Each structure stands twice: as structure tokens, then as C-alpha cells.
Structure 1
């Protein structure tokens, strides 16, 4: 087998080889969230009895008719955290969690509400 000297390379290799296979059809997916979401929409091995099955997760039984919800859900499986705090190293896959984090950890008695309300 391969020997990995760099832990980041090892994590990426394990992530892509283990995590990006559709559990429904066993097709290896591209390491891109939009490609994974598209597959969740079109995988032929998934039963779609009603519109709540418009998107079915490649890894579990989660399903939804909304693209933004499958994106948020799939981000958890992929470890994607696209929302990062500007004040510390915290990151999350949902903007609502980032807003709660900012309010709890960085908002000194409401002083930042007006300034950073529109920022993630």
C-alpha cells in the first residue's frame, strides 16, 4: 500500500476514496459538492415516490425537495464548512450556526449587531 508522510494528504486520500461513493448505485462521485448534489438528484437507483424525494442523499436515507437543504445535509457528510467566523477559527456548514456562534462568543452586549448583522 501507499505510505503517507503528510497528514493532510492522508486525510484527503481517505476522504475521497472512502466517502465519495454513492451507497445507492456504487458509482464513485467527483470530489465537488455541486457534482454530488446533482447525483443526489439524478441517481437512477433511488425510488422517488413523491416530490419530497427530489434529492436523496448519496450516503444515507435523508431526502428533500429543496436544493439548499440537500447542500447543507451533504456538506455534513463531506466535511465542508463554507461559513467561517471573521473573529476566530470557528467554521460551520450552516449560516444560522455561524450567526449563533457570533452572537454567543463575539457580541459584547449587542454592540456588534448593527455592524455585522449582514455579514456571515
Structure 2
């Protein structure tokens, strides 16, 4: 996003702290680059240290180079956040969050547990196919059976 010539990165962590002066820094790119050139606590042994990164030991004489360097930190943070979020979603999708109260059965989808409970733990009477020996406790299964096994009769 660009706001009046400055770039704002909402993905930058809240704990964006200068390693030299320990000041909490703004998330605005221009403010970060300005701080790298003006931080009073940053060691600057020679002119090659005109800009020193707030986060690592990188230093340069060029405002453009420090700006590009800071953008890399921001991208790294953004990518790490996205990777963690993606991993959390993948783990959640693998997790079986619903469990049967009567046995160790678990499932990812609540309706699967409901069907399990009906078929394994209930006294619901079985419904029988009128054309063959098939029977089930679940109406959707009976419908599926009828539509696929006896479609020519219906």
C-alpha cells in the first residue's frame, strides 16, 4: 500500500525495536529508514556506516540500499507469518476435532460423528431396500443405494 509517498507495512511485528537504542519504531518504511541514519546509539566507526540497520549489522552509505534492505526484513517477517498461518491451517485440517462420546472414534466433520453414532450406538431401526437385502440406519445411504443400484426400476 502506498500512502502519500511512504510505504506502510501492517505485517511488520509490533515489537519492531531498534537493537541499538531499544526504541520501539514506527511501522512506516520512511520512519524506519530515517531512524537507521539518525539513531544516536548506533556505532558509526566510518562513513560506510551512514545507515545501519535497526535489526542486524548491515550498513551502507546509500539511503536506497538501506531501504531495500529493510524491505527484505519486512518481507521475511511477512513470509514467516504466512508460513505459520498456512501450517496452522494445514494442522487444523488434519486434526480430528469431533469425537464420539461413546467410543474413541474421531472425525474432522461433525456430521461424520453424528452418522457414526446413529449407525454404531443408536437403537434406530434399520431401513430396508424394497428390491434387495440392503439395509441401513441412514436415509441418505438408502437414497444413494436406490439411485445407484435400482435406478432402472425407479
TM-score (norm 1): 0.52
Matched, 1:59 2:55: yes
Match of 1:16 among 9, 13, 17: 13
Q: Which runs of 4+ in 1 moved over 2 A?
A: 12-16
CA gap 1:78/1:13 in 2 versus in 1, 3 angstroms: closer
Superposed CA RMSD in Å reads: 2.1
Superposition pairs of residues 1-120 of structure 1, within 5 angstroms: 15-18=12-15, 20-79=16-75
Deviations 1:18-63 (A, max 9, x none): 3x21111110111100100000001111111111000000000000
Deviation of residue 67 (structure 1)? 0.4
CA–CA distance in structure 2, aligned partners of residues 47 and 15 of structure 1: 25
Deviation of residue 14 (structure 1)? 7.4
Deviation of residue 16 (structure 1)? 2.8
TM-score (norm 2): 0.41
Partner in structure 1 of residue 103 of structure 2: none
Count of equivalent residues: 68
- 5+ residue gaps, structure 1, are 1-11, 81-120
